[in-house]
């Protein structure tokens, strides 16, 4: 049996839409990262961008379990002395609700040159409206 190696011209990415209402962030992020990498498809090729586009709506209504809203801390270091910035999940969610989900997906993607390209295929919106109706996205069933 011969292993299939997908060529860039053979891949036609699909568009998927996910409603994040009452979904747990981590469980939702695993499903999204799988689609962005292309592992949901039999034509998965690890060294190529073989994933699909994912649109997430209602990111402001997703949830964290336990007391993670207060205890989960996001760090950012500017590179300067005393330049460490920290924010809890609650503070980050209040500032920009989409960042919590984007951060979770970013850390679940492979740490290579394709990571940024995969993240560009993720479109996260805090509300229920999005601007990608022309792409005719299909509903992605998520068991989160």
Q: Could you write out the DSSP letters of every residue in 77-89?
A: E-SSTT-EEEEEH
Mean pLDDT of the 39-47 span:
91
Confidence of residue 35 (pLDDT cuts 50, 70, 90): very high
* pLDDT 10s digits, 77-104: 999 999 999 999 999 999 999 999 999 9
Reading phi first (left if > 0) and then psi (alpha if -120 to 50, else beta), residue 78 is in alpha
In a domain, 53, yes or no: yes
Angle between helices 25-37 and 97-108 (to 10 degrees): 50
Q: How far is CA 3 from CA 6, 34, 37, in A?
A: 10, 21, 18
What's the pLDDT at 81?
A: 97
* pLDDT 10s digits, 107-143: 999 999 999 999 999 999 999 999 999 999 999 999 8
In a domain, 2, yes or no: no
* Structural domain range at position 124: 14-62+98-139
In a domain, 19, yes or no: yes
Query: Which domain CATH number covers 52?
Result: 3.90.1180.10
Mean pLDDT of the 60-83 span:
96
In a domain, 9, yes or no: no
How many domains does the chain fold into?
1
User: Which two tokens mark 53?
Assistant: 């586009």
In a domain, 31, yes or no: yes
What's the pLDDT at 76?
A: 94
What's the pLDDT at 7?
A: 87
Which residue has better confidence, 15 or 46?
15
Q: Whole-model pTM?
A: 0.93
**Distance linking the first and last C-alpha atoms of the chain:** 35
Sheet with strand 122-124: strands edge to edge: 122-124, 53-57, 15-19, 138-139
Percent of the chain with pLDDT over 90: 89
Percent of the chain with pLDDT over 70: 99
Per-chain mean pLDDT for the chain: 95
Look at the chain and count its residues. Answer: 144
For residue 64, the SS3 value is coil
């Amino acid at each position: 049996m011969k292993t299939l190696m997908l060529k860039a011209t053979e891949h036609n990415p699909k568009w998927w839409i996910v409603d994040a209402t009452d979904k747990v962030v981590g469980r939702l992020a695993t499903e999204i990262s799988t689609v962005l990498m292309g592992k949901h498809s039999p034509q998965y090729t690890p060294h190529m961008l073989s994933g699909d586009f994912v649109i997430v709506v209602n990111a402001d209504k997703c949830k964290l379990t336990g007391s993670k809203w207060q205890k989960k801390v996001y760090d950012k270091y500017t590179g300067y002395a005393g330049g460490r910035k920290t924010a809890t999940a609650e503070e980050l969610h209040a500032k920009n609700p989409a960042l919590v989900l984007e951060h979770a997906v970013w850390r679940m993607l492979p740490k290579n040159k394709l990571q940024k390209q995969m993240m560009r295929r993720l479109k996260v919106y805090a509300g229920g409206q999005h601007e990608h109706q022309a792409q005719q996205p299909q509903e992605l069933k998520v068991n989160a």
